[in-house]
Homo-oligomer: A and B are copies of this chain.
Amino acid sequence: MSHPEHPLLEMRNIEKQFGNIVALAGVSFAAHAGECHCLLGDNGAGKSTFIKTMSGVHPPTKGTMLVNGQPVVFDTPRTAMNAGIATVFQDLAMIPLMSVTRNFWMGREPTKGWGPFKRFDVKFANAVTMAEMSKMGIRLREPDQAVGTLSGGERQTVAIARAVYFGAKVLILDEPTSALGVRQTASVLATIDRVRKQGVGIVFITHNVRHAMAVGDCFTVLNRGRTLGTARRGEISAEQLQDLMAGRQEIASLEGSLGGTV
């Protein structure tokens, strides 16, 4: 392969069961610095479950994880974060009753002052939040608005802006553009591109083959808890990828009636 050095993050033979439900049946995967690795697959294939084990939300039932070639165990998301992994979860992990700023900084609040008088630097936090949001194409009314009252896309943008801002080594994005408008989507894709060029490894989950092809360096397809394999950019065409994701089923007939627009 083209990466003789250790990948930033490697997952080997990850299995995960919830009670009697098997969500992952042995999946391997690696994220390299400066690359965007796309994770694709049908609904319920296990993508979200997989990246949740990467970011320490739940421990895998079986399998090993390596960061820079060293085996690690992430017992909480905080450990994963401290290892430089930032994640946009599909459910966004936001607190509806709290303000945009407080959500943005949750867990890593900037402080000023010293000793016992160290305090949350609200002004700085507000300013950074507004700036990062407008970089993503959302102009907030006020940083104090509760996240629960934002529109779906606005909320998703907060989660993305937060992860990008804090994503030190690996940035995991679980369907980040699902609720976004055209402009915001473009801006997120551009951001992925920019961040990647800074040497961050990116894991990008999407159902949109065009988005995947636009920014992906590597493509892994999951199906029913198993990996169908990994391909590098250029080794696979958009059509092949589409076929793989959809399991090559009724898609052809549908395409006919809808004029190839999906």
Q: Report Cα–Cα, A182/B183, bound state, in Å.
A: 22
A64 close to chain B: CB less than 8 A = no
A153 close to chain B: CB less than 8 A = yes
User: A90-B179, A181-B245, A209-B182 given as contacts; is B215 within 8 A of A154 (CB)?
Assistant: no
User: A213-B261, A258-B189, A261-B214 given as contacts; is B207 within 8 A of A180 (CB)?
Assistant: yes
A129 close to chain B: CB less than 8 A = no
Please give the count of copies of this chain that the complex contains.
2
* A258 in contact with B214 (CB, 8 Å): yes
Q: Which residues in B have their C-beta under 8 angstroms from that of A257?
A: 190, 193
The one of B145, B152, B186 in contact with A262, judged by C-beta atoms closer than 8 angstroms, is: B186
Q: Report Cα–Cα, A59/B255, bound state, in Å.
A: 40
User: A21-B141, A190-B257, A262-B214 given as contacts; is B207 within 8 A of A181 (CB)?
Assistant: yes
The one of B149, B190, B211, B245 in contact with A21, judged by C-beta atoms closer than 8 angstroms, is: B149
29 contacts between A and B (CB under 8 A): A21-B141, A21-B145, A42-B153, A42-B181, A42-B182, A43-B151, A43-B152, A43-B154, A43-B157, A44-B138, A44-B151, A48-B151, A90-B152, A91-B152, A152-B175, A175-B179, A178-B179, A179-B207, A181-B245, A181-B246, A182-B251, A186-B246, A186-B251, A186-B255, A187-B254, A189-B262, A210-B262, A214-B261, A215-B258
Footprint of B on A, CB under 8 Å?
18, 21, 41-45, 48, 90-91, 137-138, 141, 145, 149-154, 157, 175, 178-187, 189-190, 193, 207, 209-211, 213-215, 242, 245-247, 249-251, 254-255, 257-259, 261-262
Beyond known contacts A43-B153, A185-B262: 9 more, CB 8 A cutoff: A21-B141, A21-B149, A41-B181, A43-B179, A178-B179, A181-B245, A182-B246, A183-B245, A215-B258
